[in-house]
């Protein structure tokens, strides 16, 4: 049985419900362009970088634009999104997550964030978690976005842990694929219909228990 040494968390949709704010902001961009975006469409966008998300959103609307317009739309989406995250407080940490993070710390595990978001530093500050993690790798520090494993591989390297000794927590299909491609054990947070490639899926973060997870996933 491998020894568990680290927990690596996606941010948006795992530590806090910013995944919903991303959806609202993308839907506004779509609506302004004359089409709608469904929750099902959103599942395919979740976890992708800002520009990759925009390209997917435009594909859904059957549209494509040249680079300057893409930058303008991505900037407009981010400005709208930031109006939500500026209002966040520690109360916006998802239920059970603050307690679970403390369980990890008390057990002596390394704790890391692996997020595609360039807004991760602002969000962690709003949640008062900016000095909590052993390392944070976000959209400002990676070349290849999820489903590429780079963000998780980099986080594991920075805390000196082998992927086989870590659990990644993810709410997005692209994120589960990234974790698995990097050789990590992955817990999906959300609907098993989207997250079936994970080693284990939990519906939400309520009542998360480190001991129960270790048993479920065969870690010491």
Closer to ligand BG6 by Cβ: residue 46 or 110: 46
CB proximity list for 135: less than 8 A, separation 6 or greater = 110, 112, 113, 155, 158, 159
Give which of Mg ion, ligand BG6, none residue 49 binds (C-beta under 5 to 8 Å, depending on kind): ligand BG6
The nearest distance, CB 102 to ligand BG6, in angstroms, is 23
**Which one of the spans 29-37, 116-124, 129-137, 180-188 is the region binding ligand BG6 (CB under 6 A)?**
116-124
Q: Which of residues 177-206 bind ligand BG6 (CB under 6 A)?
A: none
Q: Which of residues 6-65 bind ligand BG6 (CB under 6 A)?
A: 11-12, 19, 22, 46-50, 53
- CA torsion sign, 81 to 83 to 84 to 85? positive
**Which one of the spans 31-39, 62-70, 114-122, 152-160 is the region binding ligand BG6 (CB under 6 A)?**
114-122
CB proximity list for 197: less than 8 A, separation 6 or greater = 173, 176, 177, 180, 186, 188
The only residue of 4, 8, 9, 13 in contact with Mg ion, by rule CB under 5 A: 13
The nearest distance, CB 59 to Mg ion, in angstroms, is 20
Q: Which of 10, 134, 148, 171 is catalytic?
A: 10
The nearest distance, CB 63 to ligand BG6, in angstroms, is 18
Conformation bin of residue 13: beta by default, left when phi > 0, alpha when psi is -120 to 50: left
> What is the distance between the alpha carbons of residues 60 and 54, in angstroms, rounded to a whole number?
10
Q: Which of residues 66-85 bind ligand BG6 (CB under 6 A)?
A: 78
CB proximity list for 53: less than 8 A, separation 6 or greater = 22, 26, 45
Asked about 12 being catalytic, the answer comes back as yes
Residue keyed to tokens 């966008």: 45
How many residues does the structure list for the chain? 220
Q: Which residues are catalytic?
A: 10, 12
């Amino acid at each position: 049985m491998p020894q568990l040494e680290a927990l690596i968390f996606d941010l948006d949709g795992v530590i806090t419900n910013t995944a919903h704010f991303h959806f609202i902001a993308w839907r506004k961009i779509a609506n302004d362009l004359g089409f709608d975006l469904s929750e099902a469409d959103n599942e395919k966008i979740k976890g992708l970088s800002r520009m990759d998300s925009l390209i997917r959103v435009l594909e859904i609307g059957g549209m494509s634009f040249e680079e300057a317009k893409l930058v303008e739309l991505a900037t407009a989406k981010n400005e709208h999104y930031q109006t939500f995250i500026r209002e966040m407080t520690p109360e916006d940490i998802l239920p059970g997550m603050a307690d679970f993070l403390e369980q990890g710390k008390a057990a002596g595990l390394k704790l890391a964030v692996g997020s595609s978001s360039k807004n991760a530093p602002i969000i962690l500050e709003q949640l008062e978690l900016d000095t909590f993690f052993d390392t944070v790798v976000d959209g400002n520090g990676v070349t290849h976005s999820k489903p590429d494993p780079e963000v998780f591989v980099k986080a594991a390297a920075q805390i000196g842990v082998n992927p086989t000794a870590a659990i990644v927590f993810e709410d997005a299909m692209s994120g589960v694929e990234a974790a698995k491609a990097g050789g990590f054990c992955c817990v999906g947070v959300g609907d098993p219909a989207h997250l079936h490639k994970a080693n284990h899926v939990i519906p939400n973060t309520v009542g998360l228990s480190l001991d129960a997870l270790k048993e479920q996933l065969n870690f010491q």
